[in-house]
Amino acid sequence: MALTEARKAELTEKIEARERLARQDGEDLYESDDLAWLGGLAHGVRTEKNGDTVFFNVNRHLNLTNVCTASCAYCSFQRKPGQKDAYTMRVEEAVEKALAMKDDGLTELHIVNGLHPTLPWKYYPRVLRELKAALPDVALKCFTATEVHFFESISGLSADAILDELIDAGLESLTGGGAEIFDWDVRKQIVDHNTHWEDWSRIHRLAHQKGLKTPATMLYGHIEEPRHRVDHVLRLRELQDETGGFQVFIPLRFHNDNNRLSHLPMAQPADVLKTFAVSRLMLDNFPHVKVFWVM
């Protein structure tokens, strides 16, 4: 159902006055297909926050292992132990691959992995320590909250102790992954591990308390509806009110290659633009909204 002109005028007035948007406001914004209107409002918010400056980093992914105990419906990355294309890097191999990326103008290594059933916990801080020694000027953005939760189970340590050890080894930020969609009705259909909103938020809250700035993500364009996207960003906004530790929000478009949701069409460009605009308008306390070129 398209928005009436009266409702558009009401939303415009509220946004231009920089009043905080409510859940219904977010859901109504998604009802509009007027991308020029949505984009103009979002651009106004972005410009007020950051002027005409756009920020970039040169980010390279280093995935230490694709072996994973989980089988999430949206995932094309995970492999089971013994599968032909399953792999796990030795520490020396990871350093060698990272050094090979150095000439790309590398500023940030982005490390996420499968939930490997037999790798020991100590492998992970050791890798970070060796990477930091080899590339001292490169920021290490590593591990999802899902991985940190998994590290708790394989190490017997608390997330508090795990984060301390990772920070000591060179960790500068968690990644924003593992968020997907927080709403349980959607999440229980797509996620095959036990890290949900309660633990995801607990681990990012801890990271923020330790002085880390972290990103947050949302995987959209699969079985969720716009109301689930609004709920997702409102949870993040509330946590940001509490901690102030999120640096950036990253909407990630679901890709339908080689996974159990391959029958679904991918989000079209208009939906991508709408998702970025509405997210920028709802997340009034996030400094930045980011796009990954590869996505």
- Where does a domain end: 145, 173, 201? 173
Strand, coil or helix: 270: helix
Q: What's the pLDDT tens digit per position in 210-226?
A: 999 999 999 999 999 99
Q: What's the pLDDT tens digit per position in 133-159?
A: 999 999 999 999 999 999 999 999 999
Q: pTM of the entire structure?
A: 0.96
In percent, the amount of the chain with pLDDT more than 90 equals 94
In percent, the amount of the chain with pLDDT more than 70 equals 99
**Strand partners for 141:** 110, 173
Q: What's the pLDDT tens digit per position in 29-43?
A: 999 999 999 999 999
Is 295's pLDDT higher than 60? no
**Which residue blocks in the chain are alpha helix, DSSP H?**
5-16, 23-31, 35-50, 91-100, 123-134, 145-155, 159-169, 184-190, 197-209, 226-243, 269-282
Residue 16 lies in a domain: no
- Domain containing 226 equals 1-11+23-50+176-295
- Where does a domain end: 126, 158, 173? 173
Same domain, 169 and 180: no
Distance CA 199, CA 203 (A): 6
